[in-house]
C-alpha cells in the first residue's frame, strides 16, 4: 500500500471534490421538495421537478456520497494515525454517518413525493434543509481544528435547532 501513500494528497483532493458534489445535492434536494409540495396543483411544473429530484439524487448525490465514504475509508486505511488524537476523527465519522442517514431519508421523501404522498409541508422541507448545514459546520470544524470540542458541538447543535425552530414557525407559503 506504500504506492498509494505516495498519492495520498490526490486521494484527499478526490475526497473533498466528492464531498462538495454530495453537499450540493444535500443542500438542493430539499429545496426541490419545497417547490414540489408548494406547487403540487401545477402538474406540468411538478413533472419537471420530479425529473430534477430523481436525477439530482441518483446521478449526483448517491454516487458522490459513496465516493466520499469510500475515499474517506481509504484515507484512514492509508493513514491510521488520523484516528490518534482527541477524538476529532471519530466525531467526524459519527457526523458523516448521520449525514448519510439524512441522505437516505431524502430518497425516502423523494419516493413519497413521486407517489403523490404529500404528508410534509414546504416549511417542513425548509427546516429539513438546515440539517446538512449544521452537520457540515461540525465536520468542517472538527477537520480544520483537528480537535473535538464538546462546547463547539453543543453550541452548533443549539444554533441549528434554533434556526430549524424559526423556519418551522414561519407562515407556510402555501397558506398565504
**Which residue ranges make up the annotated binding site for heme?**
15, 92
**Residue 79, in any domain of the structure:** yes
Helix axes 131-145, 8-38, angle to 10 degrees: 160
**Residue 37, in any domain of the structure:** yes
**Residue 176, in any domain of the structure:** no
pLDDT of 6 reads 85
Measured over all CA atoms, what is the biggest interatomic distance in the chain, rounded to whole angstroms?
62
Whole domain around residue 72: which residue ranges?
Answer: 2-171
169 CB neighbour count, 10 Å cutoff? 9
**Residue 149, in any domain of the structure:** yes
pLDDT of 145 reads 95
- Which pTM was predicted? 0.91
What is the total count of domains within the chain? Answer: 1
Nearest-5° angle of CA 143, CA 20, CA 24? Answer: 130
**Residue 14, in any domain of the structure:** yes
pLDDT of 30 reads 97
10-residue stretch averages of pLDDT, the chain, 176 residues long: 81 97 97 95 95 97 98 94 91 98 98 93 95 97 95 97 94 59
**Which residue ranges make up the annotated binding site?**
15, 92
| Cα separation, 26 vs 23, whole angstroms | 5
Amino acid at each position: 500500500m506504500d504506492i498509494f501513500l505516495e498519492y495520498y494528497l490526490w486521494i484527499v483532493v478526490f475526497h473533498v471534490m466528492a464531498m462538495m458534489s454530495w453537499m450540493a445535492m444535500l443542500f438542493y434536494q430539499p429545496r426541490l421538495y419545497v417547490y414540489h409540495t408548494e406547487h403540487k396543483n401545477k402538474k406540468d411544473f411538478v413533472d419537471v421537478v420530479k425529473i430534477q429530484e430523481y436525477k439530482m439524487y441518483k446521478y449526483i448525490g448517491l454516487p458522490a456520497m459513496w465516493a466520499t465514504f469510500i475515499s474517506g475509508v481509504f484515507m484512514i486505511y492509508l493513514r491510521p494515525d488520523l484516528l490518534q488524537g482527541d477524538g476529532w476523527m471519530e466525531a467526524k465519522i459519527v457526523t458523516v454517518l448521520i449525514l448519510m442517514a439524512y441522505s437516505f431519508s431524502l430518497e425516502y421523501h423523494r419516493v413519497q413525493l413521486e407517489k403523490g404522498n404529500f404528508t410534509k409541508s414546504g416549511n417542513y422541507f425548509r427546516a429539513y434543509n438546515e440539517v446538512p448545514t449544521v452537520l457540515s459546520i461540525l465536520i468542517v470544524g472538527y477537520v480544520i481544528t483537528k480537535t473535538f470540542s464538546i462546547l463547539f458541538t453543543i453550541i452548533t447543535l443549539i444554533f441549528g435547532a434554533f434556526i430549524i425552530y424559526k423556519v418551522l414557525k414561519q407562515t407556510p407559503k402555501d397558506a398565504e
